[in-house]
Amino acid sequence: MPTHKHAQTQYPVADFIKHRWSPRAFTPQPIADEALRTLFEAAAWAPSAMNEQPWQFIYAHREQAETFERLWNCLLPGNQPWAKNAAVLVVVLARKFMSANQAPNRHYLHDTGMATANLLLQAGTMGIHGHVMGGFDLSKTQQDLHLPAELEPATFLALGYAGEAEQLEEPFRTRELAPRSRKPLSEFVFENQLPD
């Protein structure tokens, strides 16, 4: 049985939120391209400032070994050992400027994160898990992937079907089995109360 780490919530939330979590162990099962199209379609329907849709995704299946390895090489050592087993690696890019007038888009990373969240939540409903990675070498990514300056790598994603914690080496195995936790709402929600 693959590990499940459903959220233990203070208040009831929808199952597709409860069931999303970030595994490091993946089965060898590939993700069908048709399913991936659905994930990117879900990303496309995220809201964005002025409907700019500043996100772009470049991905490779593990079988597309040359591109997969070029993406994988951009990850930091803390992510490489487990991310090599993902079915798909994605680099998530965010365009810094508005296409209409080339003015800076103050919301480019925010909106790209919204699209990523849509993708992950859609994935969960299809039995696919994703793990966001901010641990990558920014300048190497820009250089090795020949990215234009206006496209900023926001994150990488490892996508796949969740595997068994036992297949991971330490310290990842222990992390895979560790309980998930969140701050209580009292620490980040404030009703009728502004800072002094």
Ligand X SMILES: Cc1cc2nc3c(=O)[nH]c(=O)nc-3n(C[C@H](O)[C@H](O)[C@H](O)COP(=O)(O)O)c2cc1C
Q: Which residues bind ligand X (CB under 6 A)?
A: 21-22, 79, 131-135, 155, 180
CB of 194 to ligand X, least distance (A): 28
Nearer to ligand X, 31 or 133 (CB): 133
**Alpha-carbon separation of residue 167 from 28, 79, 82, 116, 171 (angstroms):** 11, 15, 10, 27, 12
CB of 192 to ligand X, least distance (A): 30
CB of 145 to ligand X, least distance (A): 17
CB of 116 to ligand X, least distance (A): 8
CB atoms within 10 A of CB 108: 24
Residues in contact with 157: Cβ distance below 8 Å, sequence separation at least 6, in sequence order: 88, 89, 90, 92, 116, 119, 120, 130, 131, 132, 133
Instruction: Give the residue closest to ligand X by C-beta.
Output: 135
Nearer to ligand X, 79 or 118 (CB): 79
Nearer to ligand X, 95 or 131 (CB): 131
Helices (H), the chain: 15-18, 33-44, 65-72, 80-83, 108-125, 138-144, 172-177
Nearer to ligand X, 95 or 130 (CB): 130
